[in-house]
């Protein structure tokens, strides 16, 4: 993949709040479906950069990132979002790399010997004073670290919610995302993922994301939410919150 995604320009930081940027990357193929990709970059109070779910690193993007600050943290937030971490590690040697549970094992199965400095687990989160976070538990497959950028009130997710815009997809994928309930403007947790969770365990964790009262919600796939983030989450997680 790697063609048009509808989120151009690709491979360049776009500021969405003071000290917070998204980078829209090329589409990748996942189970034969084209998924747009998105990284998030936060500049900490000391000027260092925190990079979540790194996307493709081009020479031009590397220069733009270096102009924003020194990359100090690279975060692979779940077992799927690690594909470009090695490129960023090679470019930013001093960055500390953090991985969610399952990342190293899945990378090894793909023949990638990735090195990470720290694990995302328990209370261990990078930059917790400025970016709160925790690993969502309760699934027999999917463990994702979710984050809240306090200064901008932005919740940062990867796959817990997908919000595909049908107009930006191939015609044959549009009915798929509508049937799955992951079409904008009100995306949801993908049904196959939701089925892997113990809802009683999941429910209080989703409530924790609501308690942050986010204004924005950045998603890896599809349209991100620019305002009224809590209301969007209530719609996205409604079934679990009600019946969990």
Domain of 128: which CATH number? 3.60.15.10
Q: Does residue 8 fall inside a structural domain? A: no
Q: What is the reported pLDDT for 86? A: 94
Q: Are 82 and 114 in contact (CB under 8 A)?
A: yes
Residue 2, domain member (yes or no): no
Cα(68)–Cα(199) distance, integer angstroms: 41
Q: What does the pLDDT read at residue 1? A: 44
For residue 197, is it within any domain? yes
Residue 148 located in a structural domain = yes
pLDDT tens, 154-171?
999 999 999 999 999 999
pLDDT of residue 33: 80
Is residue 125 within 8 A of residue 131, CB to CB? The reply is yes
Domain count, the chain: 1
Q: pTM of the predicted model, to two decimals? A: 0.95
Which range marks the domain in which residue 24 is found?
A: 13-243
C-alpha to C-alpha distance for 41 and 12, rounded to whole angstroms: 11
Considering the domain boundaries, does residue 137 fall inside one? Answer: yes
Please give the average pLDDT of every successive group of 10 residues along the chain, which has 244 residues.
Answer: 80 98 92 88 97 98 98 96 95 96 90 89 86 95 96 98 96 96 97 95 97 98 98 95 73
Q: What is the pLDDT of residues 169-226, one digit of tens each?
A: 999 999 999 999 999 999 999 999 999 999 999 999 999 999 999 999 999 999 999 9
In this prediction, residue 123 carries a pLDDT of 76
82-120 core/surface letters (b: 16 or more CB in 10 A; e: else): bbbbbbbbebbeebebbbbbbbbeebeeeeeebebeeeb
Task: Let me know if residue 81 belongs to a domain.
Answer: yes
Which of 128, 77, 126, 124 minimizes the C-alpha distance to 102?
77
Classify residue 3: in a domain, yes or no.
no
> Has residue 7 been placed in a domain?
no
């Amino acid at each position: 993949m790697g063609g048009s995604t509808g989120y151009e320009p690709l491979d360049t930081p776009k500021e969405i709040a003071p000290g917070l940027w998204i980078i829209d990357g090329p589409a990748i193929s996942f189970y034969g479906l084209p998924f747009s990709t998105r990284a998030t970059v936060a500049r900490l109070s000391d000027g260092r950069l925190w990079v979540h779910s790194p996307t493709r690193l081009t020479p031009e993007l590397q220069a733009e990132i270096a102009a924003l600050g020194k990359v100090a943290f690279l975060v692979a937030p779940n077992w799927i979002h690690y594909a470009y971490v090695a490129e960023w590690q090679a470019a930013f040697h001093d960055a500390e790399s953090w991985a969610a549970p399952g990342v190293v094992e899945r990378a090894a199965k793909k023949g990638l010997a990735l090195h990470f400095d720290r694990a995302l687990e328990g209370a261990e989160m990078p930059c917790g004073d400025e970016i709160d976070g925790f690993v969502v538990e309760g699934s027999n497959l999917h463990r994702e670290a979710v984050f809240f950028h306090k200064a901008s009130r932005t919740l940062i997710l990867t796959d817990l919610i997908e919000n595909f815009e049908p107009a930006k997809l191939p015609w044959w994928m549009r009915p798929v995302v509508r049937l799955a309930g992951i079409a904008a403007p009100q995306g949801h947790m993908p049904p196959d993922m939701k089925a892997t969770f113990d809802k009683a365990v999941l429910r209080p964790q989703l409530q924790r994301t609501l308690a942050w009262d986010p204004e924005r919600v950045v998603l890896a796939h599809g349209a991100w939410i620019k305002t009224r983030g809590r209301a969007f989450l209530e719609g996205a997680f409604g079934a679990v919150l009600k019946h969990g």
